[in-house]
Chains A and B, each alone.
Chain A
Amino acid sequence: MNGAALATRGLNKSFGSLVVAKDVELVLPHGVRYALIGPNGAGKTTLINLITGMLRPDTGRIFLGEDDITSLAPEARVRRGLARTFQINALFPQLSALEAVTLAVCERRGFAGVWWRGLPEYRDAADEAHAILASLLLGEHCYRLTHELSYGQQRLLEIALALATRPRVLLLDEPAAGVPRDESAELFAAISGLANDLTVLFIEHDMDIVFRFAARIIVMVSGGILVEGTPDEVAEDTRVREVYLGKAHHG
């Protein structure tokens, strides 16, 4: 546990007879870029849901730093520095991009409950939100309503919202899902440019991207972790070749 930013102990979860998490033991050290790969239905999104508290595990414990967060509500975990994005956009359609990120900043700074002062009085919150949007190339589009943004811009807004919570650990569920290949490289360049002390775990199917941007890779199959290692180790692992890469090569 020493020095781990995020860890899980014996995490299990079933939907009826379908086992989606099988004794998952995860240890993510500080500041490392992790890729979580595995075939569709392997339980990757479910694992993120378990870690962030959107699903309750059947058994097992989750640690953020030294703290056991297993019984905390999702929002409490976020306030302790655990943020996520969604595989399928989960945004605020009728808020402008700036409003959405400003909202996240207000929540983090603890004045989102203030109803007797105008939002414009919190000038630095809006400025911070704008800076986050600008860092993700959304500066020029920040006054547009979320539902008017292009799909790719909405994917970036997903990340902007997560960053506005100032996470220590960031879980990205297929951030580039549905984004054209050339744009997804750009998107991952932005991700790899994030602060060094931030621990990032991202789910991604494109192996080029995974090998380029991940320092370590976790391979998940049928709810269990098959292999964890550096890209080279994973690439040479015969089980991975069989179960995952092998299949991808043939199909």
Chain B
Amino acid sequence: MAGAAPEGVTPHQYLENQTRWRRVEIAFWLATLLPFVVTPTYLSLASQIAITALFALSLDLILGYAGIVSLGHAAFFGLGAYTAGLMSKFVWGEPLTGLVAAAAIAGLVGFATSFIIARFRHLALIMITLGLGLLLHEAANSASWLTGGADGLQGVDIWPLLGAFKFDLYGRTAYAYSLVVLALMFLVARRLIHSPFGLALRGIRENAVRMSAIGAPNRSHVRKVYTISAVIAGIAGALLAQTTETVSLEVLSFERSADVLVILILGGAGRLYGGILGAIIYMVARDQFSGINPQFWYFWIGLLLVAVVMLLPNGILGGLARFAERWQGGRR
């Protein structure tokens, strides 16, 4: 991020320069519209990718920026999914209010657990997040009177978006909806990481002891970002529930927590777009491979993960960024 700045740059210009929209970012967001025209039969997949990307973005805020490793982030994704599903079943099927309810519930639980999270680091943190995730999964399994247990939640019925756009079979509404929400949440996350708070999070990741020595309230910072991350994860889960009109225990599963971690590490943690890129690669590859031999999926993912972590410590996006730097350096 912070590269060498040319002479005569004021501190203010330097900071502004870091938050500037790059051309490649704008190109990327324009390209997200391509599936509508290029692969109109794959819009359901595109929607799932956008949802997974949003989930990975939520994890990036805590892992990539604050250095909080979580192996149970599906807890908030699942909470959002069940909240949206139950809301449509028992209250009404209006999607936007369902999204808000899911965000609120996930945020509340995120805030409550953040008091535990903020007290620990490293291995203890991994175990605690893992434990909380497993706990919630089992709770949802046991409460089958509410969640439908292993059979999944029955009777999810989502009304047309804004009262006008039905969730169609091709996934056009689904993708448009997921993409808009992803883009909005991305703007929030981007603003956050370029704020004073975003700088403080990077400080915690880099050196928590020094943060205390400059008077930083680390725990309150961690609680705040954990809650925000839970809200975004909950929104992602709600999107999945609403666009597929199903909720199963899988949304709370350990696999979902592990997958999103893999996706973020593959794409590159701590760079906002890493999770999105990871989600695209992971989901497209899984879709392509699943026709051939689905049982080998985790074999290839395992191989890819080892290769990326060994060769590209900052993920695929980190590798690309380095390549682009060299290429530009070479042209100068």
* A120 CB contacts on chain B under 8 angstroms: 12, 15-16, 19, 194
Chain A-chain B contacts (Cβ-Cβ < 8 Å), number: 150
User: B2 contacts which chain A residues (CB < 8 A)?
Assistant: 95-96, 99, 143-145
| Interface residues as binary, A115-135 with B (CB distance below 8 Å gives 1, 0 otherwise) | 111111011011101100000
Report Cα–Cα, A148/B16, bound state, in Å: 22
Q: Complex formed: what's the CA distance from A118 to B209 in Å?
A: 25
Residue-wise, chain B 203-242 has the 8 Å CB interface mask toward A (1 for contact) of 1001101111111111011001000100000000000000
A117-B195, A120-B12 given; A106·B200 CB < 8 A: yes
Contact in complex: A130, B195 (CB < 8 Å): no
- Chain A min CB distance to B231 (Å): 12
Which residue of chain B lies nearest to A77 when distances are taken between CB atoms in the complex? B215
A113 in contact with B220 (CB, 8 Å): yes
Residue of B194, B197, B198 most packed against chain A (CB within 10 A): B197
Cα of A96 to Cα of B18 in the assembled complex, Å: 12
Whether A118 pairs with B191 at a CB distance below 8 angstroms is: yes
B89 at the interface (CB under 8 A from A): no
- Closest Cβ of chain A: how far from B63's Cβ, in Å? 15
- Residues of chain B contacted by A116 (CB below 8 angstroms): 191-192, 195
Nearest CB of B to A115, in Å:
4
Residues of B within 8 A of A99 (CB): 2, 199, 202
Per the bound structure, the CA–CA distance linking A130 and B218 in Å amounts to: 24
Give the residue name and chain of the B residue nearest to A164 (CB).
B214
Number of residues from A at the complex interface, CB < 8 A: 52
Q: Is residue A58 within 8 Å, beta carbon to beta carbon, of the partner chain?
A: no
Known contacts A92-B203, A115-B192, A98 near B11 by CB under 8 Å: yes
Cα distance, A94 to B210, chains bound together (Å): 13
Interface size class of B (residues with CB under 8 A): 35 or more
Report yes or no: A118 in contact with B221, Cβ–Cβ below 8 A.
Answer: no
Interface residues of A in 97-113 (CB under 8 A from B): 98-100, 102-104, 106-108, 111-113
Residue pair B218, A127 in contact (C-beta under 8 Å): no
Which residue in B19, B194, B199 is a CB contact (below 8 Å) of A103?
B199
B254 proximal to A (CB < 8 A): no
The smallest beta-carbon distance between B232 and chain A, in angstroms, is: 13
Which residues from chain B contact A119 at a C-beta distance below 8 Å?
15, 19, 194-196, 198-199
A106 touches B196 (CB 8 A): yes
CB of B11 within 8 A of CB of A115, answer no
CA distance in complex: A74, B214 (Å): 9
CB distance from A96 to the nearest CB of B (A): 4
With A and B bound together, what is the CA distance between A78 and B16 in angstroms? 29
Q: Which residue of B lies closest to A140 (CB)?
A: B7
**Given A113-B224, A120-B19, A79:B215 Cβ within 8 A:** yes
A165 CA / B199 CA spacing, docked (Å): 16
Asked if residues B195 and A107 are in contact (CB atoms below 8 Å), the reply is no
What chain A residues lie within 8 Å of B198 (beta carbons)?
Answer: 115, 119
Which residues of A lie under 8 Å from residue B220 when comparing CB positions?
Answer: 113
Contact of A122 among B192, B196, B212, B217 (CB under 8 A): B196
Interface stretch (choices A63-71, A83-91, A194-202, A214-222)? A83-91
Q: In the complex where A75-B217, A145-B2 touch, is A90 in contact with B191 (Cβ < 8 A)?
A: no
Q: Report whether A74 and B212 are in contact in the complex, using a CB–CB cutoff of 8 Å.
A: yes
Q: Is B159 an interface residue (CB 8 A)?
A: no
Contact, CB under 8 Å: B206 / A74: no
Partner pick for B11 among A54, A86, A142, CB 8 A cutoff: A142
Q: B212 to chain A: which residues have CB within 8 Å?
A: 54, 73-75, 78
A residues touching B (Cβ–Cβ < 8 Å)? Answer: 52, 54, 73-76, 78-79, 83-84, 86, 90-96, 98-100, 102-104, 106-108, 111-120, 122-123, 125-127, 129-130, 142-145, 161-162, 164-165
Q: A91-B207, A91-B210 are in contact. List 20 more A-B contacts (CB 8 A).
A: A54-B209, A74-B212, A75-B218, A84-B213, A86-B210, A90-B207, A93-B206, A99-B202, A106-B199, A112-B196, A113-B196, A113-B217, A113-B224, A116-B192, A117-B195, A118-B195, A123-B12, A143-B2, A161-B213, A162-B214
Closest 4 CB pairs between A and B? A78-B215, A115-B197, A92-B206, A126-B11
